[in-house]
């Protein structure tokens, strides 16, 4: 089977675009990615579009109405916060299968000022919220974090340090929603949403879009591999049965399984990874994923953040883009945007935030419910 | 409580809260005969082992231990905060989520692993037709 290469990739600055709409935002990213690849929509053989909030509204086709209705097959994906990574993987799969040599991937979302609590409600009778616990996202991820506290004594302060780090990283990312440092006291003293997650420990709802052009090895060679990034692994898992899974969504097991498969597929281990963009939808989640992705041994995630090993310049920089906590989390775009971030570092084009000498990077997203998408990317040459 | 649970009484907030005629309410799990996994709510097939049509009702304990929690300070409009969202492992199996009450919503007071019990009360809200609901809560275990 052919290897798959990223030939072009870009994202719009994450932010709020009330004057725009979902197809237009997606089109903006698509144009940027095509330009980055030096190709046009006429070169694309298929489109894989990821969007969550308008999952039934033919977003991919509406994007083509903006950038060129060439009649190519369009697949629209929705997979909660793993939507973008799922669309990317659909394109990867098609090239692997030998169907196409060039495909376009787009992830897009317009959230505006959607509340940070997420879904909720549903079902008959009376609302269960606040009687049978909380179904709000900050609380669900707080509970997941507290499981780590229970096992290893992880503290509120350690969770808060994740947010300090990621906000600090975002200062050097012009495409981040925010570029502001948030000292530890500010994070810990910001409004408590669901202990131990304060407001600054919750990802930011933004509008955003990111797009990528993928090519088969044959086509990549033809086009020139100078700036190509190899997709060394693409893995998608769902959550297998675990004891409390149906009451307490399990974001760990599906991540561990995806990581194991991804390392095997790429033929490497966690020690070979130079940077990671992982799913810090809440500060508590990032701590769990240090261990889930094998960046440290079980029980050592607190130490990892304390010692600055995941900060830029540390042993294994995590979320140098600013992460979902500061760059923003436009659900369907997130999984493509984190591939953009890693690709920029592998190409040596990440500017002020460049991780020097980066050769291999990993991206990770989780869609609660659950889906885990992991991609390992490698510098070519 | 038993009297209130008569035909004209409150409805259960969830299908796994059972209100027997003339008996005390309880939580009911669905236990997979081949593998022992316990689920909440009716289902056809075991999510753990895939066994089909082999689940049987099991009365769950009213005692257990607090597994993890979060203290919720911001919720949807009309929901009183703060409250403790708790996940509890029941004695003899079954994990249930609910509010932990009768303890300060303060991380210095709430202790993971603490023994808790299930209590049943009329919910403080009604549905659009004015029907009452019976809900359950957790509270720290009382002696005895
Ligand atoms: Zn079973």
pLDDT mean over B139-144:
85
Q: Is the ipTM of this complex over 0.90?
A: yes
Answer whether A143 sits within 8 Å of B76, measured CB to CB. Answer: no
In angstroms, the CA B136 to CA B98 distance is: 7
Distance from B2 to chain A by nearest Cα, in Å? 21
When pLDDT is cut at 50, 70 and 90, the band that residue A118 belongs to is confident
CATH T-level assignment (fold) for domain A4-114+204-379 = Peroxisomal Thiolase; Chain A, domain 1 (3.40.47)
The answer to whether residue A360 scores a pLDDT higher than 90 is yes
- Cα distances from B104 to residues A141, A214, B62, B109, in angstroms, run 21, 55, 21, 6
Answer whether A248 sits within 8 Å of B72, measured CB to CB. Answer: no
Query: In whole numbers, what is the pLDDT of chain A averaged over residues?
Result: 96
Ligand 1 centroid from CA A259, angstroms: 27
pLDDT in tens, B64-78: 999 999 999 999 999
**Is A312 annotated in the active site?**
no
CB pairs under 8 A between A and B: 130
The answer to whether residue A1 scores a pLDDT higher than 90 is no
Whether the CB of B7 is below 8 Å from some CB of chain A: the reply is no
The two tokens of residue A76 are: 């629209």
The answer to whether residue B3 scores a pLDDT higher than 50 is no
Q: Nearest CB to B70: which of A142, A241, A246?
A: A142
pLDDT in tens, A26-39: 999 999 999 999 99
The answer to whether residue A65 scores a pLDDT higher than 70 is yes
Backbone region of residue B50 per phi and psi (left: phi > 0; alpha: psi in -120 to 50; beta: other values) = left
Answer whether B70 sits within 8 Å of A139, measured CB to CB. Answer: yes
pLDDT for the residue numbered A199: 98
Q: Nearest CB to B112: which of A130, A146, A243?
A: A146
Ligand 1 centroid from CA A237, angstroms: 21
CA-CA-CA-CA dihedral for A294, A297, A300, A304, to nearest 10 = -50
Whether the CB of B13 is below 8 Å from some CB of chain A: the reply is yes
pLDDT mean over A208-224:
98
Domain boundaries, chain A: 4-114+204-379
Percent of chain A with pLDDT over 70: 99
pLDDT in tens, A180-209: 999 999 999 999 999 999 999 999 999 999
When pLDDT is cut at 50, 70 and 90, the band that residue A25 belongs to is very high
pLDDT for the residue numbered B143: 72
pLDDT for the residue numbered A120: 57
pLDDT for the residue numbered B1: 42
Query: In whole numbers, what is the pLDDT of chain B averaged over residues?
Result: 93
pLDDT for the residue numbered B142: 86
Burial of B78 (0-12, 13-18, 19+ CB in 10 A): exposed
**B10: nearest CA in chain A?**
A125
pLDDT for the residue numbered A121: 55
Whether the CB of B51 is below 8 Å from some CB of chain A: the reply is no
Percent of chain A with pLDDT over 90: 95
pLDDT mean over A28-56:
97
- Cα distances from A331 to residues A13, A57, A253, A365, in angstroms, run 14, 16, 21, 10
pLDDT for the residue numbered B6: 44
Answer whether A191 sits within 8 Å of B39, measured CB to CB. Answer: no
pLDDT in tens, A250-271: 999 999 999 999 999 999 999 9
Answer whether A156 sits within 8 Å of B80, measured CB to CB. Answer: no
Ligand 1 centroid from CA B46, angstroms: 5
The answer to whether residue B83 scores a pLDDT higher than 90 is yes
Ligand 1 centroid from CA B50, angstroms: 6
pLDDT mean over A158-172:
98
Q: Are B132 and B108 in contact (CB under 8 A)?
A: no
**Is A81 annotated in the active site?**
yes
pLDDT for the residue numbered A112: 84
Burial of A348 (0-12, 13-18, 19+ CB in 10 A): middle
Catalytic residue among A148, A329, A345, A375: A329
């Amino acid at each position: 089977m052919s290897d798959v290469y990223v030939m072009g990739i870009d994202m719009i600055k994450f932010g709020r675009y009330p004057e725009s709409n979902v197809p237009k935002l997606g089109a903006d990213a698509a144009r940027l990615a095509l330009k980055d690849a030096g190709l046009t929509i006429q070169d694309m053989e298929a489109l894989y579009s990821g969007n969550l909030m308008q999952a039934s509204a033919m977003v991919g086709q509406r994007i083509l109405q903006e950038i060129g209705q060439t009649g190519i097959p369009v697949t629209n994906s929705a997979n909660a916060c793993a939507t973008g990574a799922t669309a990317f993987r659909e394109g990867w799969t098609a090239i692997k299968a030998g169907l196409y040599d060039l495909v376009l991937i787009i992830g897009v979302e317009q959230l505006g000022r959607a509340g940070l609590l997420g879904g909720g409600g549903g079902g008959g009778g009376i609302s269960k919220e606040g009687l049978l616990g909380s179904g709000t996202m900050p609380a669900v991820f707080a509970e997941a974090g507290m499981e780590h506290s229970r096992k290893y004594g992880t503290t509120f302060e350690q969770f808060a340090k994740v947010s300090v780090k990621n906000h600090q990283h975002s200062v050097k990312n012009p495409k981040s929603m925010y570029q502001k440092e948030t000292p530890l006291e500010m994070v810990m003293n910001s409004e408590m949403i669901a202990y131990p997650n304060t407001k600054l420990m919750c990802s930011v709802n933004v509008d955003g879009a990111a797009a990528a052009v993928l090519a088969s090895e044959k086509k990549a060679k033809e086009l020139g591999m100078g700036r190509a990034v190899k997709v060394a692994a693409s893995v998608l898992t769902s959550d297998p049965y675990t004891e409390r899974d149906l009451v307490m969504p399990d974001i760990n097991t599906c991540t561990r399984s995806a990581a194991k498969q991804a390392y095997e597929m790429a033929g490497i281990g966690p020690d070979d990874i130079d940077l990671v963009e992982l799913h810090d939808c809440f500060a508590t989640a990032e701590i769990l994923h240090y261990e889930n992705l094998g960046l440290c041994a079980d029980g050592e995630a607190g130490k990892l953040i304390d010692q600055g090993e995941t900060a830029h310049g540390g042993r294994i920089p995590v979320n140098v883009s600013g992460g979902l906590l500061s760059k923003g989390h436009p659900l369907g775009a997130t999984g493509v945007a984190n591939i953009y971030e890693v690709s920029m570092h592998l190409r040596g084009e990440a500017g002020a935030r460049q991780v020097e000498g980066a050769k291999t990077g990993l991206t990770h997203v989780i869609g609660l419910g659950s889906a885990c998408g992991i991609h390992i990317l490698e510098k070519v040459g | 409580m038993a009297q209130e649970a008569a035909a004209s009484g409150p409805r259960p907030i969830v299908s796994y809260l059972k209100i027997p005629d003339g008996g005390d309410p309880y939580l009911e799990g669905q236990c997979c005969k081949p593998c022992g996994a316990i689920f909440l709510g009716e289902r056809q097939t075991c999510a753990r082992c895939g066994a089909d049509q082999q689940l049987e009702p099991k009365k769950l304990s009213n005692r257990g231990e607090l597994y993890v929690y979060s203290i919720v300070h911001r919720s949807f409009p009309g929901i009183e905060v703060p409250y403790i969202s708790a996940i509890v492992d029941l004695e003899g199996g079954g994990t249930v989520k609910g509010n932990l009450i009768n303890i300060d919503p303060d991380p210095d007071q709430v202790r993971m692993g603490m023994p808790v019990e299930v209590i049943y009360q009329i919910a403080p809200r009604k549905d659009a037709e004015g029907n009452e609901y019976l809900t359950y809560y957790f509270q720290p275990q009382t002696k005895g």
